[in-house]
Amino acid sequence: MKRPVFLTQRPEPIPRWLEAFPDAVVMADRDADAAVLAQTPLVWVHLTGDGQADTARVSAIHALAPKVAIVALSNVPEDEQGLAVLSAGASGYCSALTLPTVLRQVAAVVEQGGLWVGPQLMRRMISGLAAHASPTPAPSLRTLSQRERQVADAVARGATNKEIARVMGITERTVKAHLTAAYEKLGVRDRVQLSLLVHGVEESTQIPQKISA
């Protein structure tokens, strides 16, 4: 298995990173050339807090290795910072102090082509994408059962699994089961792709730099 790479300006990595991935490679940006990045399935970029510089770093890494997934790690996660790095090519955005078990979940999602962000940022992204909605639903949505369609519509409005479960009077586990079935039937990987399909938005639509709440 190829080893994940952590890019950071810290003299020492945050211990949780190596707890999650004991075989990870930790290095400075200057040592991460195209040859190095081509040997990893995932690059974790530790953000410095300098908005423009961090966005430029993610963009440069994405340009060097466009097929490699990127997750941005923030000391103080904020929606605007998250939107900026996602627009620059990152597939995930989370706290630099995320627990090891969750870091492994993040890796599993983005390495499969999915997107990982927090629920608040996800809601803002979906809200922004809804502005480009088409009045004509995608024909493939007809393959969903009534419950699956209800869950898909709720996700497209930015609802969390917990909120959907409460409104529909079902368990979160059942929500997840309906969501998984919908993903499989529609050939999508995550909530953003599902929302794009529900809203009839072309997948090529880029995540806006700024999305109103």
**What is the tens place of the pLDDT at every residue in 87-125?**
898 989 999 999 999 999 999 888 877 788 887 787 777
Position 55 scores a pLDDT of 94
What's phi and psi for 202, nearest 5 deg?
-60, 140
State the amino acid at position 158 in one-letter form: G
Share of the chain residues as helix, strand and coil, in percent rounded to the nearest 5: 50, 10, 40
> What's the mean pLDDT in 176-198?
87
Contact 140, 197 (CB under 8 A): yes
Please report which helix (H) or strand (E) contains residue 85, including its range: helix 79-87
Position 5 scores a pLDDT of 95
Q: Please write the tens of the pLDDT for every residue from 126-169.
A: 666 666 666 666 788 999 999 999 999 988 887 888 889 999 99
Position 161 scores a pLDDT of 86
Position 130 scores a pLDDT of 61
Q: Please write the tens of the pLDDT for every residue from 136-148.
A: 667 889 999 999 9
Q: Give the number of residues written for the chain.
A: 213
Q: Please write the tens of the pLDDT for every residue from 5-23.
A: 999 999 999 999 999 999 9
The bridge status of strand 42-46 relative to strand 92-95 is unpaired
Neighbours of 35 (CB within 10 A): 9
Position 26 scores a pLDDT of 95
Contact 50, 85 (CB under 8 A): no
Q: Please write the tens of the pLDDT for every residue from 54-81.
A: 999 999 999 998 889 999 999 999 988 9
Q: Please write the tens of the pLDDT for every residue from 20-63.
A: 999 999 999 888 888 888 889 899 999 999 989 999 999 999 99
Whether residue 209 has pLDDT greater than 90: no
More reliable by pLDDT, 32 or 205: 32
